[in-house]
Structure 1
Amino acid sequence: MSRVIRREFDVEERIAEILKRFVGKRFNGVTVTEVVRQYDRGLEGRKADIAVLKDDGKPLLLVETKKEHEKRSPGAGKRFIPTSGEVLGQVFSYAAILKRNGVYVPFVATANDKQIAVFVVPEDIDKHVDWKAVDRRNYARALSNDYIYGVLRPRCLLFHKQIRFAEDFFAEILETLTGIYVKKYGIEEKKQPLHYSLIEDLRGFVDFLTPYIQDAITLGGKYKEEIAELVEDYGKTRGYTPTPEQLTREMAYVLLNKIVFYKVLERHYELEPLRQLYREGIASTVSQYLKKLSELFSKAVEVTRDFEPVFHTGICDRIDVVENEEVLKALDWLIELIDEYEIERFGDIVGYVYEDLIPAEERHALGEFYTPKPIAELIVKWCVRTPDDRVLDPGCGSGTFLVEAYKRLAELKLKRNFSKVRFVPRDVHEQILSQLVGVDINDFPAHLTAVNLAMRNPKAPSTKLNVVVKDYFKIVPGYKYLRPFEVKSVEGERLAEVSFKDFDAVVGNPPYTRWTEIDEETQDMILKLYRNTISKYGLTPQVSRGVEPGIYTYWIIHSTQFLKDGGRLGMIISDSWLQTKYGTGFFRYLLMHYKIHAVIDVSARVFPVPLIGACIVLLEKCPNQDERLNNRTVFMYLDISQGSLEVSEVLELLEKARASKLESHEHLFPSGAKALVRVYKQGDLLEYNDRLINLIFRADDILNRLRRHPLITSLATYFEPSYGNIVYLYLASKGVVRGVRNVGGNEFFYLSEKGAGEFGIPKEYLYPLLPSPRYLRFFTFTQDDWDRIKRDGGECYFFLCHKRREELPDPVRRYIKLGEGPNAQIRLRRRPGESVGRPVSESQAAEARLSRRDLFLDWYDLGGVASAPIVASRYAQYWHRFALVKFEVACDDDIMALIPRGDVSLDEDEMGALLAYLNSSFAKLYIESRGRTTGGGALALEANILMDMPILDVKKLARSDVERLASLFDKLEGGARRLGGADEVENVFGSVLAGELTDKGSIKPGVEGLFNTVIRDIDYEIAKMLGLEHLVEYVRQMVLDMAKRRLSRAGEADVGSLKGSEPAVAPKPARSRKSEKPSSKPPTARLDEWLKPQ
């Protein structure tokens, strides 16, 4: 059989390189003494890929990244599923061999380039391997299925998750493992719920199969002739032509979906059992396996007289896979997994895997994110109140909200908890389906919704299901369409009248899409429908001014039209509106159309994509102004950094808060989770005109007091903030040039010393460059700092050419030619749909410069560099460092440059005093309350935010005060240099606070931190000057609370922090074998008891 080779990097090398950084470091009192590749001590001629050794010289952890017979195969690290029997057999055999030789290894891991699985090793592992198979190196038979599914997976699997090749990721793993090893943690405390490990299993199958499909249907990155025509037709009906990567991944997912659904039907109909066809000798090649599956799927349609669109899926039925024994094994493994766990018992587990059909960055652009079930449950339970409610989900995806609505309606109709209902009676099932309407622009998730709902009662599929494939904004409420909609059902597409008006509830998770990411046709439709409304409430997109409301604002405006009076809207939306100016306009729209019951901000990141923070809005449509004005609106911040919450607890607290006369209070839940609750009379909010985040944290009380103080002025008094200090960026920041605020091709304008030399560019056309805020680690930037960038081979020069072409030397003219024309060699990054990136000369910024020939001589001319004595990182995770520039450099647009106004002159001490204030907790409070939260919990500064920033008016201070603050700034800079930078959380906040603020597992112990030392001194000195000493600790605590809220988005998604009513599903009991009986002993909390021999 052929072998698929797609070498991107060596997984073993990448993991080992990261782990070696921890040599000599201690985790929970355990020192990593050595990291060894190809570890062979005591392994009887075998070699483990990586061994992490502890203080006694013995392994703490073994990591396998390849199957043994593929050790010399390039790319083999990608070619296995980390939890397959053969892979587990190999790594546990190594642990058993070492145990036989007197060395107990407490942990093992398997990893490829996508996933990692980490296990605790039972102390009696040597008693549970088949030694004959181990000696023959037949690892597929080294462990019995009963042992894998009855012991290892339920008791010993700590976690199985997507891998990140980053230091903090592996530091967290080591912190967890050493904590269990020294009995600081019990295994149950750290074990991942089975639900999530199964999700990774299914993702792993799709990841594994996709490249084998791609190699079968493509050649040289293009579709093979026999499928190219089908793809073209498919693109015409679908609205876009999928790339080979997209289509092959979808084919793998569809096959997974078919197998899962067949196994479900197998338990309800007289169908031939789908067995492990390769292991049982029924299929010996991949083509035979696929043919047999196709026969079974067709038979399922025939027997059930239903479900044709599940099993007959158009182009995805044309799946082809290159011949490889590993594919046969993977298909067998999937069937075995489904048999062992009856996956449908875990709810919409396949819906999670749907996320991975589209890579994360593309999902972000499309705004598609899967909603955790408890979030959907909370929203649906609040919105759906009677058994006859009609429910609309206008962006239904794979059906999470509609499934929860189904369960809620079933409970209301049958008067009992859904967990007590095995199958809803057929008549009730059909009633419920007729009350649910879903819309999705994409036919594939719409199809999944239909399947998901049908699985509520596989014996009673219904044609009454209404899932419409259409752009939501093209559905006008109450309009009588000339032709019926095409709707999806398990029986296929059908024509039906769907009434889009007077819904009792509209629920969902709108797309997380910015205005510029919406297609032009939909933009036009939104403006046509709601131009007056969005103008009235300040929601008109103004991209050049940075006003770019998310699509969810228009989504809710549109949804309002579908609700009946008194109907409820519940959605989880981006939390960005809470900290933007347009958010106040959106809030005003809500005030005028709804009783705003609650805005719930959640500390834990609930989506598995770091770019997304979210909040829940619960609204009741109300045309009566008096009722709206007298409504009590709750703003709630849920801090789930400690403990967890039940959906019922949140709903109960919400109702108590609305009924209470208390305006604000903190609530502590039994689990340790906390809620900050603010209650307002809705009428009192009509005149509110500031960022909504301040209705939760009330930073305005302090900031307004600052603004009224005679020693406070705005930053605009002294400086003009700019996105970088290159003249084009400065003019674009001011609006003099109407263009994007980037140079338009860093690939061309930013050069390393080596690159500049290779192109022969003379020094007069090169200007020292600060290319990224990651080099701005301290509170000053010096020539030594710049020299370090140059020595390390970084981009250290900026191509500065303010001359006409005819005046330029030949090397410069040749270099410019590389960035222009059809033969350009230096191009912009390729955008979706482009085969190659455009020439740099065709960037938006270049075109903007060409339109202003009065300022710029040509597209390559950026005008020059403006002097900026103070700069700050535009984005910061922990603390925005305002730095004194001691060496003149050109700054990238990700660096905010403070350019002095023409009449401003500050001496050295005044500059130092101002910098002390800019790096204080008072300035930090302003930034936390006004800054824009971005990906991974970072906080963004914008020019307009800096313009309005209250600062000390250093010209009005006594000279002695100026000198004291300047001295403290010097102390701050010295402290940062000693710590090695102010860009690490421990160095800013100290080890203790860093652990509370983040979920990093690798906090450096014993660091006191700048916040607890010199920044504290600065805070008290400023407060003393302003007469606010009594408020210092309040300000500092508020900074910590707001930072904690933001940073909680930066860790891994804590989708389990909010718990629904559905109990966790336990694995089925393992099949008993005569040779080993499953232990009846309950799980214990500590390692020594957990791992005692059975």
Structure 2
Amino acid sequence: MNLVSSAAITGKIAGQFFTPEHVAKSLVSWVVRTSTDRLLDPSCGEGAMLAHHGNSRGIEQNPYSAWVAHERLPHASIENTDFFTWASTTTERFECAAGNPPFIRYQSFKGLSKAAAASICNAHGVSLSGLSSAWPSFIVATATLLLDGGHMAFVVPAEIGHATYAVALLDYLVANFTKVQVVAVRDKLFPHLSEDCWILYCEDRGGVTDYVRFAHVEQFNECGSPPVGVQHRWADLKRDWRGRLRPLILPPAAREAYLAAARQPDATRFGDVAKIGIGYISGANDFFHLTSTRASELGIPDEFLIPSVRRGKYLKGEVIDQSTAAGWQEADEAFLLLSIPPNGSLHPAVARYLDTEEGLDARRSYKCRTRSAWFSVPGVVRPDYFLQYMSGSEVRLARNDCAAACTNSVHAVQINDSKQASVALGQWGSPLTRLSCELEGHPLGGGMLKLEPREASRIVFAPRGGHDELLLEATRLLKSWRHN
């Protein structure tokens, strides 16, 4: 077993899984035109891409991986350094590039490397938000090092099909390449990685296009050229889908039926009738949430206890009411939030609890110690409805009939137009709205669907039905792509 395949099995180094042999070989064959072409891999790992072309250059930040690549591939020029700081000063240019950039989340992408990446992107008109992962910056920076007419191909996370910052990247690519293609792959390229991965291919640096070509395949097999895709006008994708490519997995008839329903005069978006936001952040969940038994033992009065929906799994029906709370109590769930006003004298029982060992630990947590009154949880609301933030099979919506609050693991829905909302929410289980949840949300590792507040606000309700079976089949198809 060679080192690359061994590393692919054993795991992750610096946020990166090493590229499978058949994928690396295919991507290199897509971009190399002649034996004299210089190939760049900006995050070469142990040399999976470089092994397939004799005139190659690799940059790798991890010293061990760089050493392994150099030992395996003496023909390649490999440098152990940060790619962005290298890219900002190098005079080298390349005919082609291929790679699998590390999927470093924004929380870990920082320091001089992130500053250099931002500088390169900004200099070329690409403004990526502070919440962007590292991979779009790798692609932009690599593109700037290509000669006119150059080509590049990358393994990218499937979030290229839905992330807001992917739109800025695609804006840049269509303005700088003659052909931009995304290949969506249903089966996992990396079976041991929860992240789904797709392929990005760009041809003829220095050109321009009005289109994004999209292809989707069940599994990725070795191929000498990209799968045949369908051209979609980029301006239309931005108008109809806000630049999201994931809807293109659906057949055209399903997309057209959905857009037609969403454009009906009497169609409603969730955000038209409600404000959707996250619940409170306690800062110390185990301390601030009590079982009925524990609250009774402590002698804490009911006036300081609020029933709370702590997790999406609590939403098992269409209503959260007193019988639901009674079930949590019988199961001895820690569902009671300790809600203490920030000002005024403390009840003796509450004061005693705050001074317990658990209280001393809780007040040292970041969220608690930065509050003016560490013991008072801010942002506690009792919404009209609860909406699942992350869901598996179905996205659940439940009416709040017991004046409960919710944590930030659940969305708090506060109705601002009760008449319109009563009509709209009556269609929650309709084929159109079920598909809308899939299209407006986005897949998360492990087969979950995530709905950010802004995404949830775009869920569509339309009173006039039609095309139900087509919409249901489209929903089933999208669910199959998130491996639920």
Which TM-score applies when normalising by structure 1?
A: 0.41
* Larger RCO of the pair (alpha carbons < 8 Å, separation 6+): 2
SS of 1:607 mapped into structure 2: coil
* Residue correspondences, number: 481
Distance 2:135 2:22 in 1: 21
Q: Where do 1:341-380 residues align within 5 Å?
A: 343-344=1-2, 348-355=4-11, 366-380=14-28
Change beyond 3 A, Cα 1:800–1:864: farther
Distance, in Å, in 2 between the alignment partners of 1:752 and 1:610 is 37
Is the CA contact 1:563–1:621 (under 8 Å) kept in the aligned structure 2?
no
**2:354 maps to what in 1?**
816
Shift of 1:443: 0.6
Which of 468, 473, 477 is 2:79 aligned to? 468
**What does the per-residue CA deviation read over 1:193-224, in whole Å, with 9 as the maximum and x for residues that have no partner?**
xxxxxxxxxxxxxxxxxxxxxxxxxxxxxxxx
Tell me what 2:182 maps to: 599
CA deviations 1:100-152 (Å, max 9, x no partner) are: xxxxxxxxxxxxxxxxxxxxxxxxxxxxxxxxxxxxxxxxxxxxxxxxxxxxx
Are 2:335 and 1:756 aligned? no
1:694 deviation in Å? 2.9
Q: Aligned to 2:335, what secondary structure does the other structure show?
A: strand
Query: After superposition, what is the alpha-carbon deviation per residue over 1:935-979, rounded to whole angstroms, capped at 9, x for unaligned?
Result: 212111111122233324xxxxxxxxxxxxxxxxxxxxxxxxxxx
5+ residue gaps in structure 2?
none
- How far 1:876 moved relative to its partner? 0.9
Rounded to whole Å, the distance in 2 between the matches of 1:399 and 1:755 is: 57
Select 2:333's aligned residue among 772, 775, 794: 794
Q: Summarize deviations over 1:981-1026 as a string: whole Å, max 9, x none.
A: xxxxxxxxxxxxxxxxxxxxxxxxxxxxxxxxxxxxxxxxx5xxx2
Report the Cα distance in structure 2 between the residues aligned to 1:653 and 1:376, rounded to whole angstroms: 13
- Report 1:33-112 matches (<5 A): none
Identify the match of residue 418 of structure 2 among 899, 905, 925.
905
- Hey, what's the Cα distance between the residues in 2 that align with 1:814 and 1:526? 51
- CA 374–916 in structure 1, closer or farther in 2 if over 3 Å, else same: farther
The correspondence for 1:549, drawn from 132, 150, 161, is: 132
Pairwise CA distance, 1:681: 5.9
- Determine which of 24, 28, 32 is the counterpart of 1:384: 32
Relative distance call for 1:562 and 1:720 in structure 2 (3 A) is same
Structure of larger gyration radius? 1
Matched, 1:926 2:436: yes
Q: Equivalent residue for 2:66? A: 446
Q: 2:215, 2:230 within 8 Å by CA — same for their partners in 1?
A: yes
Q: In structure 2, do the counterparts of structure 1 residues 816 and 595 end up closer, same or farther at CA, with 3 Å as the change threshold?
A: farther
In structure 2, the residue matched to 1:495 is none
Q: Does 1:781 align with 2:320?
A: yes
CA distance in 2, matches of 1:696, 1:747: 42
Structure 2 counterpart SS, 1:918: coil
Residue of structure 2 equivalent to 1:943: 453
Contact 1:395 1:441 survives alignment (8 Å): yes
State the Cα deviation string for residues 707-736 of structure 1 (Å, max 9, x = none): 332322222232111112xxxx4xxxxxxx
Structure 1 counterpart of 2:166? 583
Alpha-carbon distance in structure 2 between the residues aligned to 1:860 and 1:511: 40
Q: Which amino acid aligns with 1:637?
A: H
Q: Which amino acid aligns with 1:721?
A: I
Pick from 270, 275, 297: which aligns with 1:720?
Answer: 275
Using the aligned pairs only, state the percent identity. 21
- Cα distance in 2 between the residues matched to 1:767 and 1:350: 52
* Structure 2 partner of 1:881: 396
Q: 1:389 to 1:581 in 2, by over 3 A?
A: same
Instruction: Tell me, yes or no, if the aligned pair for 1:439 and 1:468 is still in contact at 8 Å.
Output: yes
- 1040 and 687 in structure 1: CA distance in 2 versus 1, 3 angstrom threshold: closer
Distance (whole Å) between structure 1 residues aligned to residue 59 and residue 379 of structure 2:
52
Matches within 5 A, 1:391-430: 391-403=39-51, 405=52, 409=53
Q: Note if contact 1:818-1:826 (Cα within 8 Å) is conserved in structure 2.
A: no
Structure 1: distance between partners of 2:455 and 2:356: 38
Does 1:708 find its partner at 2:287? Answer: no
- Deviations 1:830-883, CA, capped at 9 Å, x for gaps: xxxxxxxxx22x22x763x54xxxxxxx23323474332321211112110112
Which residue type is aligned with residue 505 of structure 1? C
Letter in 1 for 2:215: M
Q: CA deviation at 1:706?
A: 2.4
Question: Contact between 2:440 and 2:459, CA under 8 Å: does it hold in 1?
Answer: no
Alignment deviations for residues 647-691 of structure 1 (CA, whole Å, 9 cap, x no partner): 13xx5673xx3xxxxxxxxxxxxxxxxxxx422367876877432
Contact kept? 1:748, 1:819, Cα under 8 Å: no
Structure 2 residue matching 1:680: 3-state secondary structure: strand
Query: CA contact under 8 A between 1:800 and 1:864: conserved in structure 2?
Result: no
Please, which of 114, 117, 128 is the counterpart of residue 539 of structure 1?
A: 128
- Alpha-carbon separation, structure 2, partners of 1:690 and 1:678: 16
Aligned counterparts of 1:472 and 1:817: Cα–Cα separation in 2: 51
Over aligned residue pairs, what C-alpha RMSD do you find? 2.9
| Compared CA separation, residues 809 and 795, structure 1 to 2 (3 A) | same
Indicate whether 1:646 and 2:210 are aligned: no
Shift of 1:572: 0.6
2:87 matches 1:511: no
Q: Greater share of strand residues, 1 or 2?
A: 2
Task: Give, in whole Å, the separation in 2 of the partners of 1:686 and 1:868.
Answer: 33
**Whole-Å separation in 2 of the counterparts to 1:881 and 1:683:** 34
Rounded Cα–Cα distance in structure 2 between residues aligned with 1:825 and 1:865: 22
Contact in 1 for aligned 2:153/2:202 (Cα 8 Å) = yes
Shift of 1:772: 0.8
**Contact 2:98 2:152 (C-alpha < 8 Å) held by counterparts:** yes
Separation in structure 1 between the aligned mates of residue 332 and residue 165 of structure 2, nearest angstrom: 42
Tell me the TM-score normalized by structure 2.
0.89
Q: Which residue identity does 2:470 align to in structure 1?
A: Y
By how many angstroms is 1:887 displaced? 2.4
Deviations 1:363-421 (A, max 9, x none): 6xx42222222221221111122112221211122222222x2xxx3xxxxxxxxxxxx
Q: Secondary structure at the match of 2:169?
A: helix
Q: Is the 8 A contact 2:174 2:180 kept in 1?
A: no
- 1:798 Cα deviation from its structure 2 partner: 0.7
Amino acid of the residue matched to residue 401 of structure 2?
A: K
- Give runs of aligned pairs for residues 224-373 of structure 1, distance below 5 A: 343-344=1-2, 348-355=4-11, 366-373=14-21
Is the Cα–Cα contact under 8 Å of residues 634 and 678 in structure 1 kept in the other structure? yes
- Which residue is equivalent to 1:616? 199
Relative to structure 1, is the Cα distance of residues 772 and 384 closer, same or farther in structure 2, using a 3 angstrom cutoff? same
5+ residue gaps, structure 1: 1-342, 410-431, 454-461, 480-499, 542-547, 658-676, 730-741, 828-838, 851-857, 953-1021, 1051-1094
Give CA-to-partner distance per residue, 1:740-783, whole Å, 9 cap, x none.
xx332223322233443454433321111211111212222233
Q: Which residue matches 1:690?
A: 243
Per-residue CA distance 1:1048-1092 (angstroms, 9 max, x = gap): xx5xxxxxxxxxxxxxxxxxxxxxxxxxxxxxxxxxxxxxxxxxx
1:814 positional shift:
3.7
What is the aligned partner in structure 1 of residue 142 from structure 2? Answer: 559
Q: 2:362 aligns with which of 817, 826, 830?
A: 826
* Cα offset, 1:556, TM superposition: 0.6
Contact 1:510/1:572 (<8 A) preserved: yes
Deviation by residue 1:398-454 (Cα, 9 ceiling, x = unmatched): 222222x2xxx3xxxxxxxxxxxxxxxxxxxxxx3xx2222111111112222333x
Q: Secondary structure at the match of 1:451?
A: helix
**What is the identity, as a one-letter code, of the residue corresponding to 1:722?**
G
Question: Take 1:577 and 1:816, find their aligned partners in 2: how far apart are those partners?
Answer: 47
